[in-house]
Structure 1
Amino acid sequence: MIKNIIFVTLFLVVICGWSDLPFQGNSLCCASEVLYESRLDKGLSNTEAYSYLLIQKAREDKGRARELLETAKEYSPNLPAVYFELARQSFSFSSDGIFEGIDYVRQGLNAYKSNFWWQFNLDGELYISLLISYVLALIITVAIRLPLEQPLLLHDILEDKRKGLFLLSLLLLSLFGFFALLAGALFLVGLYLRKEDRVFVYMAFFSLLLSPLILRVADTFLVPPSPELRAIVAVNEGEDNQYALATLKAGKDFPSDFSYALALKREGDPLDAIQIYKALLTRSASPLVLTNLGNAYYDLKDLEAAKESYQSAVGIKPLPAAFYNLSQVYRETLDFAKGDEYFLEAAKLDNKAVSRFVAMSGKSPNRFVVDETLPMSDLWEYAQGRGRIFGLSFSLAAALMIPAFFLVNKKIKVRAHRCKRCGAIFCSKCSRNLIWSEMCPRCYRFLIKVEELDSRERIASILSVYQIQTKRRRTVKLLAYTVPGLGQIYSGRVLTGLLFLWLFLFPLSVLVMNRHPFTGLSPFVQGWLEPPAILLMGLAYLFSIIHMRRGISRGWL
């Protein structure tokens, strides 16, 4: 009971941020060592709460930082925060410091493979940031282009009243919510874009088509984790057993039953664990279940039944834990030759895992033989099953809008244009003249057919065009220097501008989301994301300006 109180206290200290708790040297270290050993006896190899506390203390005590962090790594070998802090502490501008820092970063990234919540936070942060930045990029694109295309639409409506149905459709779509309004606005904007830029409209409609799937994945990260998911992760990552016993029930699903049985065995109830494992085996012959069934038999000192279970497990799939457990059981029966043989088989499969088994070995049944846990893929599958199922209304709307957009663009032969020189609105129907190089009839007369105007009128017209284009260039440059992609979108290079804008908004969203972990379980943000995010923003900004300046020099405007 006292040990549990100590652990809970340490956990609260870390989560609540009580970093000013006095660090009483050897006394606390001895208590933590006792706690750590007792947790290993329960099959719990991760003590993340204490590791977080050690990281905090390492930041305060620079002289002992390395020692404290190495201890934190021992207590929580799959905690990325430990390795990132080691990288920060060990980094220097010497060659050794650089390579050592890089190696710790590599180890930290590798630790994500074995830490569900850190991986969950990372994937959720990137996915939601990608989604938010994409929607924001579409909204900004529409906000810039719609006022520019509105005069063209009004001109077409005056020429052909039937085209007023497009505007009426937009008003009707607005009744179905914001995203329906956005889709309608994209439809209208796309009618007046260049052919290559219409790709972004199809891309948006295709995203809308997949919206139920996209939203369900997003819901997985946004909905607070269920108690069952927390319990399953806690058991399989060696953090806690009691929460699983209080939360999970047998006979629900494979992950829950497997985790519940594992917690029962670790807490000294192998008989009930055996019953659950046998029930699971009636569904499918899982080598994970067979290995843990053998461990439960070992707990009961039924060594022959344990051997049989391990042999069945390796017969289905060679597992390092099953071979290692066989070696332990055979050594227990003094058959050292067989024990060594199986030990070597385990080492061949995964030498690092076997080294870890040996390091944690002890007299307790939970340490003498090694439990199998659910792979990360199973935890993800269980987590993704929590997402809500969304309606198909947006998908059906997108399924109709994609062919409609294609057919409308193909059918409309006459549509309004904006003069590339003076910005006047015209179409081939009202001007009765050939549209030449996106030039209105007036500009065509004084720039191409110069004989139709006297010199004064022509010079005045040229000056007027020059002033208009100068104003447009200033607007484009201002937008380009404000946010990447805005200049391209305004000047009519919508697809390119959208990509630059998205590349800028995505890392910006990552920086914002990085301060708000999804699970709320980690007191540390994933700070390693911030430098590459800032770098990507800078590159997007730089290349956008270079691209915009080259475009202006080539006569985009």
Structure 2
Amino acid sequence: MSKQTVKLLGIGLFFLASQAALAAPRSMVPAEIEQAWFRLTGTLDPLNPSALRDRTDELLQVASRLELKRLSPYAQALVLRSRTLPPERKEVVLREALRLDPKSPEALFALASLQLKSFSVAGIWTTLKAFAAYGADGRLVNFRRGALLLLGVLVVGLLGVVWGLASLARVFPRLWHDLMELGGAWKLGANAWVFSCFVVGLPLFLALDPLWVLFWLFALAWAYFSESAKVIGGVLLVFLAAFPTLLERASRNLTHPTDPVTRAAWALQEHRYDPLALVELEEAADLFADDPHFYRLKGDLERQFGLYEASLLTYQEGLRHSPQEPALLAAAGTVHYLQGNYGAAVQLLSEARDRGFDPVVVNFNLSLAFAHLYNFRDSDEAIAAARKASESRLRQLTRGRDNQVILQSVSLDEAEGILARKDPVLLLNRGFLPPPLSRERTLLSPLTLAPVVALVLALLHYLVRSRRTGFALACTKCGRTFCSRCKLSRESQTYCTQCVNIFLKRDMVAPELQIAKHRQLRRRQIVHQTLRRFFDFFLPGFGQAFYGRPLVGVLLMIPAAFLLTASTLWLPHFVQPLVLQAELLPIRVFLALLWLALLVFAQLQRHPER
């Protein structure tokens, strides 16, 4: 390679490095914590458990001097490194990862799987902690909401459809009986069944749409439900009408990441080390250039990472836009205190106090700053003012932090206020807000219109028939359908004529007829027991709830639905991708065994025939 080529390459590399330096955010990663991490990585290859523990202590000591309690990126790196190790050493690395981030769902799920593989009872407790960590982690808030909403919609929708079809099958003979009676009243004779078929399949003849047939039948059958079933059926129709909108909202949350402002607020609330949140705030600075609260958010995050100079510059930029903002004055004074500039801290904190900032926080911090300047009289007056403002709150804020300055950060509500003050169109164009819902896929969807129309038709059908002809009933003994027009006996309103003669009157009934009736009842009981066991196998408790034991059924259905959904859908598709593709098979097997125990319990329940 010639010297000229080398010079050109050198000039090009220098130019690229200069451009990268200009494009890099002003707030860089803190050097002290990165150096401690690099020293820790030296103990991983080859793995030295004692040295790893010592380096972890060193890293935690550095983090404790800042405001960091969760070193999530480093914990994730240890989780990835543990996958290449044998089980004994893997557990050592995972426990060190949990020291770096005690609420890391990645490390907890990996440790729970490892413990369950070895049949350790501690794996059950670790699994519960992993689920709790997954449900509370701020990084996953949008995805978690979307996933839970999607799974809830799918599970409730599936259960509702199965319940609706089973209820429809139960009352359909009564509906058919009334249609045949109506055909007879209109003197259709042998063509009454043709009329009944035409009414049942009316949407199919008009629009060739089988989906509308189901809603049409459900609307006609709704009048034959019991009072509680009518309420459930109405709620089911309303839920099905909202199903497309809920599905669209869930899928939108799944595909839209958390905006930088909310992500930074979560990092502050959880005291998490999240350098990418700071980078995203730098990229969004032009959008919130006129909002002083945004500068406070960014400065608080830089202060949490130990970047005091960068945070001071950010606070000063915010004060340039709003010189009298008390929160920015107090935040800048706090950073000056942390740097040892107690005179500047007193000046800024005093100004923040005069402008109405939180008297408990600002007076306590002022007392510490005055004490470092040996101005004990003003220090005593400041601490007395803090106690006078709220002594109980002062004790709460300073518990375990004696002689340490109170560090306040932007809350999640304040972060929402930062977003609320901006034009939604600007936020939408920059990707801070998810796209609006499509009206064609939500409000105008056929699956939205059909349940609404079905609910209106169900109410009209019920009101018209209840005032004119009434509804057919089913014998509570044998299940035979009858109505007031075809029933001869009046001794019972719930028994058919045959059951009244056999079981109530008990006179002039042939023995052969009694034997045939008892055989019929036995067959009906066997069918009901078979259906109950089938429904209980589909979902433990569903058969119990559908065949006369609603309390036991609901108590079994709720945990069974959660266990089945978590094992088959939630863990493999909505948790595993977010926890670094951790091996969750032992946890899924454990949940499946719990579901199997509920299944066995439901099948062993004795269910007396009604």
Which category of TM-score, normalised to the shorter sequence, fits these structures? 0.5 to 0.7
**Bigger mean CA deviation after superposition, 339-348 or 1-10:** 1-10
| CA shift for structure 1 position 134 | 1.7
| CA shift for structure 1 position 138 | 0.6
Q: Identify the residue that residue 157 of structure 1 maps to in structure 2.
A: 179
Q: Identify the residue that residue 292 of structure 1 maps to in structure 2.
A: 331
The 8 Å contact of residues 297 and 305 in structure 1, kept in 2 or not, is answered as no
| CA shift for structure 1 position 456 | 2.7
Q: Identify the residue that residue 192 of structure 2 maps to in structure 1.
A: none
In structure 1, what is the Cα distance between the partners aligned to 2:377 and 2:283? 44
Q: Identify the residue that residue 366 of structure 2 maps to in structure 1.
A: 326
Q: Identify the residue that residue 514 of structure 1 maps to in structure 2.
A: 571
Describe the SS at the equivalent of 1:439.
coil
| CA shift for structure 1 position 510 | 3.1
The 8 Å contact of residues 331 and 339 in structure 1, kept in 2 or not, is answered as yes
In the alignment, does 2:231 pair up with 1:192? no
| CA shift for structure 1 position 174 | 9.3
Q: Of 405, 417, 425, which residue of structure 1 is paired with 2:473?
A: 417
In structure 2, what is the Cα distance between the partners aligned to 1:184 and 1:482? 26
In the alignment, does 2:234 pair up with 1:202? yes
TM-score scaled by structure 2?
0.63
**Bigger mean CA deviation after superposition, 463-472 or 59-68:** 59-68
Equivalences for residues 41-440 of structure 1 within 5 A: 45-52=69-76, 69=95, 72=97, 75-76=100-101, 79=104, 115-117=137-139, 127-160=149-182, 168=202, 186-208=218-240, 218-219=250-251, 221-226=253-258, 228=260, 229-230=262-263, 233-234=266-267, 237-241=271-275, 242-252=278-288, 258-263=296-301, 266=307, 268-269=309-310, 270-276=312-318, 279=321, 287=327, 289=328, 291-295=330-334, 302-308=344-350, 310-311=352-353, 315-317=356-358, 320=361, 322=362, 325-335=365-375, 338=378, 342=383, 349=393, 354=398, 370=407, 372-375=409-412, 386=434, 388-389=436-437, 391-393=442-444, 405-413=458-466, 414-431=470-487, 436-440=492-496
Q: How many residues align?
A: 525
Q: Identify the residue that residue 560 of structure 2 maps to in structure 1.
A: 504
**Bigger mean CA deviation after superposition, 123-132 or 468-477:** 123-132
| CA distances 1:133-163 after superposition (whole Å, capped 9, x unpaired) | 3222112212333334334333333333698
The 8 Å contact of residues 105 and 133 in structure 2, kept in 1 or not, is answered as yes
Q: Identify the residue that residue 485 of structure 1 maps to in structure 2.
A: 541
In structure 2, what is the Cα distance between the partners aligned to 1:74 and 1:375? 26
Q: Extract unaligned runs of 5+ from structure 1.
A: 91-97, 362-367
The 8 Å contact of residues 57 and 68 in structure 1, kept in 2 or not, is answered as yes
| CA shift for structure 1 position 535 | 9.7
The 8 Å contact of residues 290 and 309 in structure 1, kept in 2 or not, is answered as yes
**Aligned-partner residue type, residue 279 of structure 2:** Y
In the alignment, does 2:518 pair up with 1:462? yes
Equivalences for residues 29-40 of structure 1 within 5 A: none
In structure 2, what is the Cα distance between the partners aligned to 1:381 and 1:170? 54
In structure 2, what is the Cα distance between the partners aligned to 1:511 and 1:480? 18
After superposition, the Cα gap between the structure-2 partners of 1:398 and 1:145, relative to the gap in structure 1 and judged at 3 Å, is closer
In structure 2, what is the Cα distance between the partners aligned to 1:173 and 1:352? 68
The 8 Å contact of residues 252 and 434 in structure 2, kept in 1 or not, is answered as yes
After superposition, the Cα gap between the structure-2 partners of 1:435 and 1:417, relative to the gap in structure 1 and judged at 3 Å, is farther
**Aligned-partner residue type, residue 333 of structure 1:** L
**Bigger mean CA deviation after superposition, 349-358 or 267-276:** 349-358
The 8 Å contact of residues 70 and 102 in structure 2, kept in 1 or not, is answered as yes
The 8 Å contact of residues 245 and 263 in structure 1, kept in 2 or not, is answered as no
What RMSD over aligned residues (CA atoms) do the two structures have, in Å? 5.9
The 8 Å contact of residues 146 and 189 in structure 1, kept in 2 or not, is answered as yes
| CA shift for structure 1 position 398 | 6.0
The 8 Å contact of residues 138 and 498 in structure 1, kept in 2 or not, is answered as no
Q: Identify the residue that residue 94 of structure 1 maps to in structure 2.
A: none
After superposition, the Cα gap between the structure-2 partners of 1:530 and 1:470, relative to the gap in structure 1 and judged at 3 Å, is closer
**Bigger mean CA deviation after superposition, 255-264 or 134-143:** 255-264
| CA distances 1:235-264 after superposition (whole Å, capped 9, x unpaired) | 664423442344422444888655334456
In structure 1, what is the Cα distance between the partners aligned to 2:399 and 2:596? 44
In structure 2, what is the Cα distance between the partners aligned to 1:478 and 1:29? 55
In structure 2, what is the Cα distance between the partners aligned to 1:235 and 1:392? 39
The 8 Å contact of residues 175 and 472 in structure 2, kept in 1 or not, is answered as yes
Describe the SS at the equivalent of 1:549.
coil
In structure 1, what is the Cα distance between the partners aligned to 2:340 and 2:36? 34
In structure 2, what is the Cα distance between the partners aligned to 1:376 and 1:232? 9
After superposition, the Cα gap between the structure-2 partners of 1:530 and 1:491, relative to the gap in structure 1 and judged at 3 Å, is same
| CA distances 1:165-202 after superposition (whole Å, capped 9, x unpaired) | 67536988996x97x88765654453332222222113
| CA shift for structure 1 position 225 | 1.8
After superposition, the Cα gap between the structure-2 partners of 1:465 and 1:78, relative to the gap in structure 1 and judged at 3 Å, is closer
In structure 1, what is the Cα distance between the partners aligned to 2:268 and 2:208? 49
After superposition, the Cα gap between the structure-2 partners of 1:168 and 1:470, relative to the gap in structure 1 and judged at 3 Å, is same
In structure 1, what is the Cα distance between the partners aligned to 2:457 and 2:172? 20
After superposition, the Cα gap between the structure-2 partners of 1:539 and 1:63, relative to the gap in structure 1 and judged at 3 Å, is closer
Describe the SS at the equivalent of 1:225.
coil
| CA shift for structure 1 position 544 | 5.1
TM-score scaled by structure 1?
0.67
Describe the SS at the equivalent of 2:410.
coil
**Bigger mean CA deviation after superposition, 205-214 or 268-277:** 205-214
| CA shift for structure 1 position 481 | 5.3
**Aligned-partner residue type, residue 202 of structure 2:** L
| CA distances 1:475-509 after superposition (whole Å, capped 9, x unpaired) | 43454455323424654778985775345213322
In structure 2, what is the Cα distance between the partners aligned to 1:479 and 1:319? 61
In structure 1, what is the Cα distance between the partners aligned to 2:114 and 2:360? 37
In structure 2, what is the Cα distance between the partners aligned to 1:310 and 1:323? 10
In structure 2, what is the Cα distance between the partners aligned to 1:530 and 1:319? 49
| CA distances 1:439-465 after superposition (whole Å, capped 9, x unpaired) | 344444444455454333343343333
| CA shift for structure 1 position 116 | 1.6
The 8 Å contact of residues 66 and 86 in structure 1, kept in 2 or not, is answered as no
**Aligned-partner residue type, residue 370 of structure 1:** L
**Aligned-partner residue type, residue 202 of structure 1:** G
The 8 Å contact of residues 326 and 353 in structure 2, kept in 1 or not, is answered as no
